[in-house]
Structure 1
Amino acid sequence: MKYCAFLRGVNVKGTNMKMAEVCQVFKDAGMKDVISILASGNIVFSSDKSADELKIILEKAMSEYFSYEAFLFIKSHQETESFWKGIPFEKNEDLHIYSFVGMPGVENILMEEFEKATQAENEKAEIVNDIFYWQVPKGNTLDSTFGKILGKKSLKDQMTSRNVNTFEKVLKKME
């Protein structure tokens, strides 16, 4: 089965890794057809194991190889497609749209946090099919009140985010 691993915290805050090395760690852990998409930690691969088994195997392999506490989220082709198909906002050159990959129920935690935060003009959030989407004006992602909340340590093992355009690129490599 084809999967995508979405790694959390790659190439930010001092956790730097080359995607060729990450791919090699995946291959050494028994994954097949391994390729990376962008430098933000999106690894497409094949395996006969379940997503739950893969999460354990790959987090351990990544943690040992790179000497950091790895967090990753494994999604099947069908699950990855749902992130792309569910986008609730219209594309706009002045806005970024993010989707969040994470543990079951994290979308509700994110919505609670978003509703408590001060929003910029055109900043919105919506849950579609248990997936949290966030629209934010370009240039405000890290400076927004909600953007700062996303960096909380209590959320680091719960989710990771990607610009929705990343899902389109991942899907093309999964086909």
Structure 2
Amino acid sequence: MTTTTTYIAFLRAINVGGRTVKMERLRALFAELGLGNVRSYIQSGNVFFTTDEPDRAALTRRIERHLEEALGYPVPVLLRTVDEVAELLAAEPFRGVEVTSDVRLVVAFLSEPLPADLAIPYTSPKGDHEVIGADDGAAYVVIHLKNGKWVTGELFGKGYGGSVTSRFLHTTEKILAAARKP
């Protein structure tokens, strides 16, 4: 029996740094791979699709290779099932964190777990962010804006060699809601 899975592809390096990709083109690239029900949400590289391909790692490599060939630069792809994202949000990883005008809540999707020697909670040397929790697939980061801006940098220090793409918590909630729509 074949099982069809609905994935959310969280893409890194889409529509940042002068690398502009229209969502219509991005959806077409996913459809070229034979993936079903391809849809996208906002311009930051969130694609939903269905597949019966059982090997997530092989699927990820296939998508990354196709995107790089078509776009001319690497695009890290972090695949999560709709159920996995729902479970992540249901766990309320930011419970008890007070949101203010200078605080943002961010889900950092990870290609591999954080280094075992990264003590969590972890506060960056400049105090601009705190990693308050993590599991194998995501880290939960509280951003402290400086002069109203998020100073992007290495979230986990130099010891993390995997790919990371981040979404604000409220955006992640909207992505999940959109992915659940037929």
TM-score of the two chains, using structure 2 as the length reference: 0.79
Q: Is the 8 A contact 2:121 2:130 kept in 1?
A: no
- Secondary structure in structure 1 of the residue aligned to 2:176: helix
Pairwise CA RMSD: 2.8
Pairing 1:83–2:92 present: no
Residue 38 of structure 1 aligns with which residue? 42
Query: Counterpart of 1:133?
Result: 140
- Correspondent of 2:127 among 110, 119, 132: 119
- Give how far 1:84 is off: 1.9
Equivalent residue for 1:48, pick from 44, 52, 55: 52
Q: Write out per-residue CA displacement over residues 4-62 of structure 1, whole angstroms, 9 at most, x where no aligned residue.
A: 00001111112211111000000011111111111110101111113212201111111
Amino acid at match of 2:150: T
Q: Any residues of structure 2 matched to 1:3-152 within 5 Å, and which?
A: 3-50=7-54, 51-86=56-91, 87-89=93-95, 90=97, 92-94=99-101, 95-106=103-114, 114-120=122-128, 123-130=129-136, 131-138=138-145, 139-142=148-151, 147-150=152-155
Instruction: Say if 2:85 and 2:176, in contact at 8 Å, map to a contact too.
Output: yes
- CA displacement at 1:157 relative to structure 2: 4.8
Amino acid at match of 1:84: L
- How many residue pairs get aligned? The number is 169
User: Greater relative contact order: 1 or 2 (C-alpha under 8 angstroms, separation 6 or more)?
Assistant: 1
d(CA) in 2 for partners of 1:8 and 1:67? 14
Query: 1:110·1:132 contact (CA, 8 Å) conserved in 2?
Result: no
In our comparison, the structure showing a higher alpha carbon Rg is 2
Structure 2 counterpart of 1:168, which letter? E
Letter in 2 for 1:117: P
1:144-169 deviation digits (Å, cap 9, x = unpaired): xxx32249998685211111112211
How far apart are 1:110 and its partner, in Å? 6.9
- Structure 2: 5+ residue stretches without partners: none
Q: Point out where structure 1 has 5 or more consecutive residues left out of the alignment.
A: none
* C-alpha distance after superposition, 1:121-173 (max 9, x if no partner): xx53211444311112343312xxxx322499986852111111122112112
> Helix, strand or coil for the counterpart of 2:167?
strand
Preserved contact between residue 101 and residue 160 of structure 1 (Cα < 8 Å): yes
Q: Which has the higher helix share?
A: 1
Kept in 2, the 8 Å contact 1:106–1:158? The answer is no
CA deviation after TM superposition for structure 1 residue 106, in Å: 2.7
Aligned-partner residue type, residue 149 of structure 2: N
